Amino acid sequence: MPITDTTPKSIPDTRTIRQSNDEVDRMVSGFERPIDRFVRHHRGKLHLLAFLLALAWATPRFPQVLLGLPLITLGLAIRAWCSGYLAKNTELCTTGPYAYCRHPMYLANFIIVAGILLAGNNVYMTVTGLLLTILVQVFAIRREEVLLHYLFGEDYARYRRHTPCVFPWTPRSAAVQGSGQFTWLLARYNGIGEQAAGLLLLLILFAVKALVLAHYGHVYPVTYGLWPTPLG
């Protein structure tokens, strides 16, 4: 995987991507459903709400936090890999992780959420989090597939025929061609730094909460119950 800090000519600059995204937002605003519009306009606030709910609901202990860390790191690494190739709504990305599945970013999200839920050590939080994640991602993928088909037509239809949706269960298809390169400029533009900082902060707060719970010896019946109760 070639990695460079300069943007190849085949990859649009961030200004072009921003303009393209603005045009797509204006285009879809005329026919999208109210729930689509609400999620699109308040995505940042919804992410903050999920962050606060996870912190409030979690009953972490250090073993669970350590078990969740590799999953979160793996998911973040896949997101970084995706982010370095993705010129959203501007060019059809079929290289890098997109050569193996059409929506690797959603796979990365699921892995990250699984790591957070494992670190959170709460059965109710886990069940609710998994159900909401699956529901939201299925909804988002269906909407995105329609938009990509509208933007890229037969190119996307051909790519869709030869590439799995989320899980890369088939070998990379020789029928799908692409020449894109990974660039940290795109990764930074797609917010990988902010995402990594947010996840690091959540893990630190989980560790602090685990320390507080261990110190006061709280017992929660809805935890996974895999480790003995900490001593107060």
Quick check: is 126 in a domain? yes
Residue 11 has pLDDT above 80, yes or no: no
% of the chain exceeding 90 in pLDDT: 50
- Greater confidence (214 vs 5) lies with 214
What is the span of the domain harbouring residue 185?
47-168+175-216
Q: What is the CATH number of the domain that holds 76?
A: 1.20.120.1630
pTM: 0.84
Q: Is residue 11 part of a domain?
A: no
Q: Residue 15: inside a domain, yes or no?
A: no
Q: Averaged over 217-221, what is the pLDDT?
A: 67
pLDDT band at residue 2 under the 50/70/90 scheme: very low
Quick check: is 37 in a domain?
no
Instruction: Quote the number of domains for the chain.
Output: 1
pLDDT tens digits, 106-130:
999 999 999 999 999 999 999 999 9
Identify whether 78 is part of a domain.
yes
pLDDT at 180: 76
The values of phi and psi at residue 224, to 5°, are: -70, -25
Question: Other CB atoms closer than 10 Å to residue 160's CB: what's the count?
Answer: 16
| pLDDT exceeds cutoff 90 at 133 | yes
